[in-house]
Structure 1
Amino acid sequence: MAFPSDLEIARSASLKPIEDIANEMGLGSHLLEPYGEHVMKIKLDAITELAEAPRAKYVVVTAITPTPLGEGKTTTTVGLGQGFRHIGKRATIAIRQPSMGPTFGIKGGAAGGGYSQVVPMEVLNLHLTGDMHAVTAAHNLLAAMIDNHLYQGNRLGLDLHNITWRRVLDVNDRALRNIVIGLGGSGDGIPRQTGFDITAASEVMATLALARSLPDLRERLGRVVVGYTEDGTPVTAEQLNAAGSMTVLLRDAIKPNLLQTLENTPVLVHCGPFGNIATGNSSVVADLIGIHTGDFLVTEAGFGADMGAERFFNIKCRTSGLRPDAAVIVATVRALKAHSGKYKIVAGKPLPEDLLAENPDDVAIGAANLRKQIENVRLHGVSPVVAINAFPGDFPSEHQAIREIAEEMGARSAVCTHFAEGGSGAAELAEAVAEAADEPSDFRLLYPDEASLREKIETIATKVYGAARVEYSPQANRQLDTYERAGFGNLPVCVAKTHLSISSDPTLKGAPTGWTLPVREVRASVGAGFVYPICGEMRTMPGLSSNPAAVRIDIDDNGDIVGLS
């Protein structure tokens, strides 16, 4: 009998009334705003009302460096949240909202998988409560205000060749990466080159994710830098009188969304910043609420521990003031074999037969990446737990090889079968995480606020990535000097690099050392509150593949969605 599809499993779920889920969290009806039958928005008053409730243990789920095979990080996050109930603990899960770009592109959804899913699946992956569209509208309102300012005389002296604010859309559309606007007659605006990014890459999204309150969001939006004058002076959204209207558009979007898993564990779904040029983490306000709603708050950080987890520790926790108690590092046999460098893997194509054969030696060779990611978690004083996400074709000897590597590194480990078995398949992981979280916390940030931007970049490059040195282009050096003079030097840094390697070269597997991190450009997300050096080619507007998920998604004769995965 074939294993049912994610959508079939999701539709067979027995959902509790969402009010009951909220009540179990200690959220009264006066703090809730219903959106349809199975979704609630939570008012930010919950942060202060829950402040005296006991604090949950705070757990971040991260991973080894991703491969085209996928490591199942969201599925593991959901499975772990469900698994706590099987050991007599209450958990709340906090994850990012899926972008419709990947939903209709390659990924096809981001609700977890198998019997570890967030439901309703269709609602989660398609629009939810409209937060993505609110971010799109607020971002593009500012873009319109910029071009209107140019048309009305450019009183602030914006340099047309140094306007950094582009437009956004929550769809994969490569044709919009670079465009010329303002063509036509004299009343159609000032012609200039610009482009579109996907909404998840918007600084407004990152700002929303890091804001602690509505007034804080308003202040951050005012600080957004849209471009520079010819003498290098930054021009902000506040100077364009746009920040107030942007905040109005985001007044409801700042409220986290409440859903549930297949096993009725509460899930806070909020914000979806990109994981390569932004933090790759769900919102601060969701965590400030969730930290007082159970025994554990389980959140997820994008990509590997060198990226999402590093930003979780040094940007998100710096902003929220919350201290993590444990970190889960998701690893798979297939991905560790891929990190051996012996196999050519192409997304969407059949896996090499040799990779699927029993070979614990290849797992051991690729384990250099796992060892380094364990070290990266420990750099921040957090206890790591290795989650071995089991696939049907794995062999016990290969799982044992991973267990031995974790034990050698002094880390707990657990084999997880949550995809096929739900929370019961993550009970061993839940036990291991509970033990790790009970250890005394020694959480520490990697660098102080007062360190220079170059010191922050070099600390991450050498300590987290394993680089020998950092090399700055002349442009990057000028930009860093400009940002220091402008008062941005106290901001944390968010290194924009490939997610396919711990290094900046996507072809380097395992845990490369002795290489040089090239910083070719540096940009400032002043509203969000970080500076991001760019170390490679970053696609901020994905394109559709030759066979995108959009060709399979449809409506059947009963009006139900089909093809969503």
Structure 2
Amino acid sequence: MQSDIDIARAATLKPIAQIGEHLSIPAEQLIPFGHDKAKLSQDCMDALADRPNGKLILVTAISPTPAGEGKTTTTVGLGDALNAIGKKASVCIREASLGPCFGVKGGAAGGGMAQVVPMEEMNLHFTGDFHAVTAAHNLLAAMVDNHIYWGNDLDIDVRRIKWRRVVDLNDRSLRQITTGLGGVANGFPSESGFDITVASEVMAILCLAENHKDLQRRLGDIIVGYRRDRTPVSCRDIGADGAMTVLLKQAILPNLVQTLENNPAFVHGGPFANIAHGCNSVLSTKAALKLSDYVVTEAGFGADLGAEKFFNIKCRKAGVAPDAAVIVATIRALKMNGGVAKADLGTPDEDAVLAGCANLGRHIENVKKFDVPVVVAINHFTSDTVEETAVVQRYVESMGCKAILCTHWADGSKGAVALAEAVVAMTEQEKPQFKLLYRDSMSFVTKIEIVAKEIYGAKGVLINQKIRQQLEQWEAEGYGELPVCMAKTQYSFSTDPTLLGAPSDFDVPVREVRLSAGAGFIVVICGEIMTMPGLPRKPAALSIHLNEKGDIEGLF
């Protein structure tokens, strides 16, 4: 089979106005970026307010492994299949970060015959949203340093500045830096560092804001550091919120593109699935729900991180509720969770598949705790055997759900028709009463314990007295009703990335807590979390180049 980029390049794309027409969007309400991508204008967004919502389908997955699960590919395949069976469906996914593209993970447009296009632009600069987030974030950092340089009227404690800088690349050398060296004219020397753009609170804010006014309010609420008397200093105090909003004026508008089968896809925003909530923007999801009968969206990493944050943060804050969830699994990944080494995944092993199903089973149980109906999509690999697939299907049936074999990677929409029909059947039944895992009024410690025990399967949470006092202080300052954004390894239910399957009898150590006042949640860091990745020994960038025709090669 051809590579993803070759398949994408061979696709016949429709003019973006025709994709908008399919959703009944007048051409004048689109802001075109070339022939094949556009932003929804503010006029378009305003015109949608009174329309009824379609049905929202979340695609999540088992715990990720190097074997691959194919969550985005399944999201796109399901969206195409829903259209193929006569439903008016749209796909909603995140934008791609340059870090993974040039690092090891690759792009974020799906794969095979289930892709969003134009693949090259989508994985690179796209419509400039990430650049706008980077610029807005770094403008605030520059204005904080400038305020201190010109007299520090706010009495900011230079030892307690929390606002770092960002760049949308993997660069481990920037994790910890010293700024202001070189003499008096360059400011005051201080320790700082860079995070990757997707870890910026500005990115999380962009994806949770409801409109430009809400965007500026949230930006203004960002806490950049503390005074000598330990009171917080906000972005609004610095006076940067207005200029940052201007930089993000167009970036907040949802992007419209298409799948290989010329179905609408909204690609907007890209918050980190650990340090933030890992979902596409609220604005694009809400617009898609007004324009479509079915909206297929996804959440980052496995269901213990992505789905939990989608439910407890995005749905809570946006006032939306999912009608169904799809959990993606592969035979290869289940074998890995069952103890098989990556080099041996091509060898049939029904016992290992069954052992790995414990991971899938816990994810199913967790999603059901939110009263969301579940179906499992088995993303097919050519090395899978009929017997191994049957093991998964029997296991899932024992949990009261269906597991459907899907071949959308090779066959496009035809390979996901059965999945689409199962999703429609679930959503046409009486809608369950979607429920959140914890109440706003609960204490931060209680919220943390509920997620750790109910979702991860932990026996307890380890929180030292200093962190408890910080949480109590935030509650006293009026932040107590915020949800918790749990940051831990994506590879395990525990904080140990080597502990695969469905571990139990472990504690979750809370190492640090951070207040994201603008985004509207607190970040609870459990174990070691990297907010600035490094490049691998052989980064993907080594293979990316232009050929003699000027086409991009090596992007995947």
Q: Normalising to structure 2: TM-score of the pair?
A: 0.98
d(CA) in 1 for partners of 2:123, 2:50: 34
Aligned partner of residue 65 in structure 1, secondary structure: coil
Report the counterpart of residue 445 of structure 2 in structure 1. 454
Mapping 1:174-253, distance limit 5 Å: 174-253=172-251
Report the counterpart of residue 370 of structure 1 in structure 2. 360
Contact 2:340 2:352 in 1 (8 A): no
Q: 1:400 to 1:44 in 2, by over 3 A?
A: farther
Report the counterpart of residue 542 of structure 1 in structure 2. 533
Report the counterpart of residue 383 of structure 1 in structure 2. 373
Mapping 1:74-89, distance limit 5 Å: 74-89=72-87
Aligned partner of residue 290 in structure 2, secondary structure: coil
Matched length: 555
Report the counterpart of residue 497 of structure 2 in structure 1. 506
Report the counterpart of residue 348 of structure 1 in structure 2. none
Structure 1 residue 301 corresponds to structure 2 residue 336:
no
d(CA) in 1 for partners of 2:493, 2:185: 50
Aligned partner of residue 238 in structure 1, secondary structure: helix
Report the counterpart of residue 473 of structure 1 in structure 2. 464
d(CA) in 1 for partners of 2:124, 2:389: 36
d(CA) in 2 for partners of 1:506, 1:473: 23
d(CA) in 2 for partners of 1:411, 1:260: 31
d(CA) in 1 for partners of 2:66, 2:152: 47
Mapping 1:93-242, distance limit 5 Å: 93-242=91-240
Aligned partner of residue 152 in structure 2, secondary structure: coil
Indicate the larger mover: 52-61 or 89-98.
52-61
Letter in 2 for 1:343: V
Letter in 2 for 1:551: L
Q: Which string of whole-angstrom CA distances, capped at 9 and with x for unpartnered residues, describes residues 62-82 of structure 1?
A: 000111112000000001001
d(CA) in 1 for partners of 2:386, 2:291: 37
Aligned partner of residue 236 in structure 2, secondary structure: coil
Contact 1:47 1:288 in 2 (8 A): no
Mapping 1:433-448, distance limit 5 Å: 433-439=423-429, 440-448=431-439
Letter in 1 for 2:218: R
Report the counterpart of residue 340 of structure 2 in structure 1. 343
Contact 1:475 1:520 in 2 (8 A): no
Letter in 2 for 1:428: A
d(CA) in 2 for partners of 1:481, 1:450: 13
Report the counterpart of residue 388 of structure 2 in structure 1. 398
d(CA) in 2 for partners of 1:54, 1:477: 43
Report the counterpart of residue 253 of structure 2 in structure 1. 255
d(CA) in 1 for partners of 2:83, 2:285: 20
d(CA) in 2 for partners of 1:5, 1:539: 31
How big is the shift at 1:103?
0.6
Structure 1 residue 530 corresponds to structure 2 residue 521:
yes
The two structures, once aligned, show a CA RMSD in angstroms of 1.1
Contact 1:57 1:297 in 2 (8 A): yes
How big is the shift at 1:473?
2.3
Contact 2:94 2:268 in 1 (8 A): yes
d(CA) in 2 for partners of 1:507, 1:164: 31
Contact 1:44 1:213 in 2 (8 A): no
Contact 1:99 1:125 in 2 (8 A): yes
Report the counterpart of residue 552 of structure 2 in structure 1. 561
d(CA) in 2 for partners of 1:444, 1:233: 36
Report the counterpart of residue 489 of structure 1 in structure 2. 480
How big is the shift at 1:312?
0.5
d(CA) in 1 for partners of 2:222, 2:375: 38
How big is the shift at 1:31?
1.7
Q: Could you list the runs of 5+ residues in structure 2 that have no partner in the other structure?
A: none
d(CA) in 2 for partners of 1:41, 1:321: 23
d(CA) in 1 for partners of 2:270, 2:409: 23
How big is the shift at 1:170?
0.5
Indicate the larger mover: 469-478 or 444-453.
469-478
d(CA) in 2 for partners of 1:444, 1:512: 26
Which of residues 37, 40, 49 in structure 1 aligns to 2:35? Answer: 37
Which of residues 321, 324, 338 in structure 2 aligns to 1:323? Answer: 321
Letter in 1 for 2:211: S
How big is the shift at 1:45?
3.5
d(CA) in 2 for partners of 1:466, 1:107: 28
Q: Could you list the runs of 5+ residues in structure 1 that have no partner in the other structure?
A: 346-350
Contact 1:326 1:383 in 2 (8 A): yes
Q: Which string of whole-angstrom CA distances, capped at 9 and with x for unpartnered residues, describes residues 296-354 of structure 1?
A: 000010001110100100110111111110000000101111111x2334xxxxx22xx
Structure 1 residue 423 corresponds to structure 2 residue 413:
yes
How big is the shift at 1:288?
0.9
d(CA) in 2 for partners of 1:411, 1:76: 18
How big is the shift at 1:286?
0.2
How big is the shift at 1:455?
1.2
Q: Normalising to structure 1: TM-score of the pair?
A: 0.97
Letter in 1 for 2:148: L
Contact 1:44 1:285 in 2 (8 A): no
How big is the shift at 1:284?
0.1
How big is the shift at 1:471?
1.0
How big is the shift at 1:520?
1.4
Letter in 2 for 1:375: E
d(CA) in 2 for partners of 1:193, 1:482: 26
d(CA) in 1 for partners of 2:168, 2:6: 26
Aligned partner of residue 388 in structure 1, secondary structure: strand
How big is the shift at 1:386?
0.2
d(CA) in 2 for partners of 1:298, 1:16: 21
Q: Which string of whole-angstrom CA distances, capped at 9 and with x for unpartnered residues, describes residues 168-215 of structure 1?
A: 001111100000000011010110000000000000000000001110
Contact 1:59 1:296 in 2 (8 A): yes
Letter in 2 for 1:373: H
Letter in 2 for 1:282: N
Aligned partner of residue 249 in structure 2, secondary structure: coil
Letter in 2 for 1:242: A
d(CA) in 2 for partners of 1:465, 1:108: 28
Q: Which string of whole-angstrom CA distances, capped at 9 and with x for unpartnered residues, describes residues 496-548 of structure 1?
A: 11100011111111111221111111001110110011101111111111111
d(CA) in 2 for partners of 1:180, 1:474: 31
Indicate the percent of aligned positions where both proteins have the same amino acid.
Answer: 54
Q: Which string of whole-angstrom CA distances, capped at 9 and with x for unpartnered residues, describes residues 432-477 of structure 1?
A: 1111222322211111111111111111111111111111023322
d(CA) in 2 for partners of 1:513, 1:161: 40
d(CA) in 2 for partners of 1:441, 1:51: 25
Contact 2:445 2:468 in 1 (8 A): no
d(CA) in 2 for partners of 1:250, 1:395: 49
Structure 1 residue 519 corresponds to structure 2 residue 510:
yes
Letter in 1 for 2:313: I
Letter in 2 for 1:292: K
Aligned partner of residue 494 in structure 1, secondary structure: strand
d(CA) in 1 for partners of 2:494, 2:256: 37
